[in-house]
Amino acid sequence: MRKIILAILGLVLIVASIFIARKLIQNKNKVKPIPKKVMKTVFVDTIKNKTIPIIIPANGNLTAKRRLELYSEVQGVFKSGSILFKAGQYYKEGQTFIGIDNSEYYASVQSAKSNLYNSIATIMADLRLDFPEVFPKWQTYLRGFDMNTSTPKLPEMTSEKENYFITGRGIISSYYNVKNLEQRLSKYSMTAPFNGILVEALVTEGTLIRSGQKLGEFIDPTVYEMEVALSKTYARLLKVGETVELNNLEHTEKYSGIVSRVNGNIDATTQTVTAFIEVKNNTLKEGMYLEANLNAKKVDNAIEISRSLLLDGKQIFVVRDNILDMIDVTPVYFSDSKVVLKGIPDGTIILSKPVPGAYAGMQIKPFGVKNKKVSTTTESNKTK
């Protein structure tokens, strides 16, 4: 019985082996299916050369073009006036914003003027006798002498003898001494040289002001300048008088300015050149941070594309008969995200977006084109 069971099992194994062997032989002889070739769909663009403006981005803070730092040249107590000396106060041209008590010094000036007047009055009798021809003009000068106004200029000397006589009596030295005192007396009062705003006040009424002390800062709020530092590469592109577009950080406001000055030297440390942009607007304030776009120059017969489309060897991909190819180009200007190129014929079809793993000879399918080969028109443009 045992032998019979073993014989049956052996027979079953032989039959199963034959069946499996036939299946393996049949599968080996089957034709493997050819995988369908998948073509990548790409975005393309047709080239049309035009004039491309080169715009240089820059940024900086606004400062008043006309700024006056107020310093005292005399000493005294700050007197209160009709307008408070406070930050933010507006002054018209000619209005006094600082007055220092000058009563003591004013008395010294009046004393010196009185001495000058007495000196001239003393020589009048001698002038009548010795120089009758010049007596009338000195008499007229003496009659017009006013102690409460600025000392008038001395009469012009018409002869050498008259000059020696007047100088010998100390009239000339007394006159210039008075003028010097009057000049210093005028510094006890400060007036606004233009319409503007006081942006900093370091003293208040009643303060004892010392000579050389800073009192505040005064600006003209109608004209501002923005200082920007640009790479030396762009130094030759900047021109005084060029229009500049500016905007705030939020890009909610736009302003127009001009390049007013360009520094003649390049910073040795940063290798940058400084340019100044003048802008006028009633809504601007000193210290505002603005962004500027400087129109450096215009490039004819050029295109502007994304920097990601430019290959390391200064080449770009073009499409010829649904196949990628590469051509050499000439970069003219690089910005943060764009590059300006020359040397690409009109009608050339290029990639408008990068394709991962792209290579020359790669078959592609241009987006939006069905059953139609896309080819460049380089040769046809050349024949035209």
CATH class for the region spanning 67-95+192-219 = mainly beta
Q: What is the pLDDT of residues 71-125, one digit of tens each?
A: 999 999 998 778 889 999 999 999 998 899 999 999 999 999 999 999 999 999 8
Please name the residue ranges forming H helices in 213-309. Answer: none
Least confident of 157-166, 231-240, 269-278, 362-371: 362-371
The reported pTM is 0.64
What pLDDT does residue 273 have? 87
Q: What is the pLDDT of residues 288-346, one digit of tens each?
A: 999 988 777 788 889 999 988 888 878 898 988 888 898 999 888 887 788 889 888 89
What pLDDT does residue 372 have? 42
- Mean pLDDT of the 340-367 span: 87
| Residue-wise burial string across 150-163, b where 16 or more C-beta atoms lie within 10 A, e elsewhere | ebeebbeeeeeebe
Q: What is the pLDDT of residues 7-60, one digit of tens each?
A: 777 777 787 777 777 777 766 655 555 655 667 888 888 889 998 888 888 888
Q: What is the pLDDT of residues 199-211, one digit of tens each?
A: 999 999 888 999 9
Q: Does an H or E element contain 292, and which?
A: strand 289-306
Domain ranges of the chain: 1-32, 42-49+302-383, 67-95+192-219, 104-186
Q: Where residue 371 falls among pLDDT bands split at 50, 70, 90? A: very low
Q: Where residue 383 falls among pLDDT bands split at 50, 70, 90? A: very low
- Mean pLDDT of the 345-368 span: 85
Residue 368 has pLDDT above 60, yes or no: no
- Mean pLDDT of the 248-256 span: 88
Round to whole Å and give the CA distance between 234 and 297.
10
CATH match for 42-49+302-383 among 3.30.1050.10, 3.40.50.300, 2.40.420.20, 2.60.40.1220: 2.40.420.20
In this structure, are strands 40-42 and 364-366 parallel, antiparallel, or unpaired?
A: parallel
What pLDDT does residue 35 have? 56
Residue, of 71 and 241, whose pLDDT is higher: 71
Average pLDDT value over all residues in the chain = 85
What pLDDT does residue 379 have? 42
DSSP state of 363: B
Q: What is the pLDDT of residues 172-181, one digit of tens each?
A: 999 999 999 9
